[in-house]
């Protein structure tokens, strides 16, 4: 079995496509993070300016205490919103990279199995036991990978549910503080 230039080119192209897919996914995540951070910094600056102006207009201690209390709740809400947005960006980036990795693993598996089948056709008599063992090991590895992927997805879904529940709890607490 000879390797042709076309086969080398196909493998090289597939590898390049995989690298480009990873780079694109990472750049998209970086872009979202940069935008999120820029808006958070802008909001923090605007809040700081507003708070400074309000502090300059304070006439007594009671007004100062009220100003501090009124500033704390929105800051906590913005921090929670930022954390949730950050988690969403990271989660989405992870999902995109997982898709690329799964696609690459699937393609590698198909190519390896195909090459193994071609080799087994030209192999000497009696070597079918070795090929069967390799195929069995590959099947076991695929099963283990599928199980691991399933557990990872379940853990991610659980984390998403916990983040959503924590956000709702925090919102409820901030509403109670506003009413009180």
Determine the pLDDT at residue 141.
81
Determine the pLDDT at residue 2.
65
**What is the Cα–Cα distance from 51 to 71, expressed in whole angstroms?**
8
| DSSP-based three-state secondary structure for 78 | helix
Instruction: Tell me the per-residue pLDDT of 50-72, one tens digit each, with 9 for 90 and over.
Output: 988 988 888 888 888 888 878 87
* 123 secondary structure, DSSP code: S
**What is the Cα–Cα distance from 70 to 73, expressed in whole angstroms?**
6
Determine the pLDDT at residue 27.
94
- Given a cut of 50, the residues of the chain with pLDDT beneath it are none
| Residues counted in the chain | 180
Instruction: Record the pTM.
Output: 0.67
Residue 125: CA count within 13 A, CB half-sphere: 0
């Amino acid at each position: 079995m000879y390797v042709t230039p076309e086969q080398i080119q196909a493998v090289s192209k597939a590898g390049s496509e995989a690298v480009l897919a990873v780079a694109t996914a990472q750049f998209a995540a970086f872009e979202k993070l940069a935008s999120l951070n820029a808006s958070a910094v802008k909001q923090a600056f605007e809040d700081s300016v507003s708070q400074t102006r309000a502090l300059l207009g304070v006439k007594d201690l009671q007004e100062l205490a009220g100003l501090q209390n009124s500033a704390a709740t929105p800051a906590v809400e913005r921090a929670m919103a930022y954390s949730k947005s950050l988690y969403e960006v990271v989660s989405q980036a992870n999902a995109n990279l997982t898709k690329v990795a799964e696609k690459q693993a699937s393609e590698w598996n198909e190519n390896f199995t195909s090459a193994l089948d071609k080799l087994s056709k030209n192999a000497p008599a009696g070597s079918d036991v070795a090929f069967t063992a390799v195929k069995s090991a590959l099947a076991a590895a695929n099963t283990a990978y599928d199980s691991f992927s399933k557990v990872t997805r379940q853990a991610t879904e659980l984390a998403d549910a916990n983040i959503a529940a924590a956000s709702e709890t925090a919102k409820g607490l901030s509403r109670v503080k506003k009413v009180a």
